[in-house]
């Protein structure tokens, strides 16, 4: 029971994932109001004051909404790339300098005994990152808001045990849907969001190194359906020769409530 991975919220209305390695509790993204995040953490049996640090992936509001409130109230450290800090300016209020922690994407650092590796990802933000978190042989991965998955991006998640992977949209639903053309182009671009098919293909590349629990995340409420995301990814995995439930376990995430926890 040294490792827990809990998706609290996932989607364009807000993202947050709670990851625990032994005594170190980390919140990755804080994309709901401070109050909603407090309640969500409580519902998992923890208190916000137990959260050692908040790690941010990028400055889009669905990832940072509650970070200012929580940082001021609880005093935890907040980690983000220099670009993300710049992009956040004026959006979340003041975060005290002592809690302001910057990293260089691609270079790892430690929070307590947890090895934190933020890595650059292609997305239309200032300096977005994914995360690989490792401690005592357990490894967590966070990979959403990803225009496309490169070999390099996926290499950071080699050997991952539990992760959130974006399955944002069904390409046909997006194309046929009501979004303005400019927004459709943005989402479909290689700096936009990962489709169900691209998500499944990316996942196949991870299976040589691990048998992960994968939480399909950041589903569009407009251009996706949970069952469709699941079945599309599952079909690609089966075509690849993977055994579902054995080589890889798929889980759903939800915009308004927590997913089933992974405890390792
Ligand atoms: Zn997002
Ligand atoms: Zn984003």
Ligand approaching nearest to the C-alpha of 191: 2
Residue appearing with tokens 């993202």: 15
pLDDT at 235: 98
**Domain membership flag for residue 239:** yes
**Domain membership flag for residue 176:** yes
pLDDT at 229: 98
Question: Alpha carbon of 227 to those of 11, 186, 196, 231, 253: distances in Å?
Answer: 15, 24, 11, 6, 11
pLDDT at 208: 81
**Domain membership flag for residue 248:** yes
How many domains are there within the chain? 1
Ligand approaching nearest to the C-alpha of 9: 1
- Does the predicted TM-score (pTM) go above 0.95? yes
pLDDT at 1: 81
182 burial type by CB count under 10 A (0-12 exposed, 13-18 middle, 19+ buried): exposed
Rounded to the nearest whole angstrom, what is the distance from the C-alpha of residue 150 to the centroid of ligand 1? Answer: 19
pLDDT digits (tens, 9 = 90+) for 108-127: 999 999 999 999 999 999 99
**Domain membership flag for residue 177:** yes
**Domain limits at 31?**
3-255
**Domain membership flag for residue 51:** yes
CATH classification at residue 175: 3.60.15.10
**Domain membership flag for residue 261:** no
Segments of the chain scoring below 70 in pLDDT = none
**Domain membership flag for residue 94:** yes
**Domain membership flag for residue 260:** no
Rounded to the nearest whole angstrom, what is the distance from the C-alpha of residue 1 to the centroid of ligand 2? Answer: 32
Rounded to the nearest whole angstrom, what is the distance from the C-alpha of residue 218 to the centroid of ligand 1? Answer: 7
């Amino acid at each position: 029971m040294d490792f827990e991975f809990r998706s609290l919220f996932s989607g364009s209305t807000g993202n947050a994932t709670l990851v625990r390695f032994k005594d170190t509790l980390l919140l990755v993204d804080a994309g709901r109001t401070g109050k909603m995040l407090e309640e969500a953490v409580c519902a998992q049996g923890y208190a916000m004051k137990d959260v050692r640090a908040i790690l941010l992936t990028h400055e889009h509001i669905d990832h940072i909404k509650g970070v200012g409130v929580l940082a001021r109230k609880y005093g935890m450290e907040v980690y983000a790339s220099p670009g993300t800090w710049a992009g956040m300016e004026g959006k979340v209020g003041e975060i005290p300098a002592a809690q302001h922690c910057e990293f260089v994407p691609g270079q790892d650092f430690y929070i307590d005994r947890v090895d934190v590796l933020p890595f650059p990802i292609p997305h239309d933000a200032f300096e977005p990152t994914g995360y690989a978190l490792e401690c005592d042989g357990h490894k967590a991965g966070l990979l959403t808001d990803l225009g496309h998955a490169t070999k390099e991006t996926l290499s950071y998640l080699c050997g991952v045990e539990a992760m959130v992977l974006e399955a944002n949209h069904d390409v046909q639903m997006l194309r046929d849907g009501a979004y303005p053309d400019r927004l459709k182009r943005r989402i479909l671009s290689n700096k936009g969001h990962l489709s169900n098919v691209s998500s499944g293909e990316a996942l196949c590349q991870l299976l040589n190194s691990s048998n992960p629990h994968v939480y399909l995340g950041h589903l569009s409420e407009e251009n996706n359906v949970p069952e469709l995301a699941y079945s599309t990814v599952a079909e690609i995995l089966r075509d690849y020769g993977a055994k579902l439930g054995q080589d890889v376990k798929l889980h759903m995430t939800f915009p308004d409530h927590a997913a089933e926890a992974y405890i390792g």
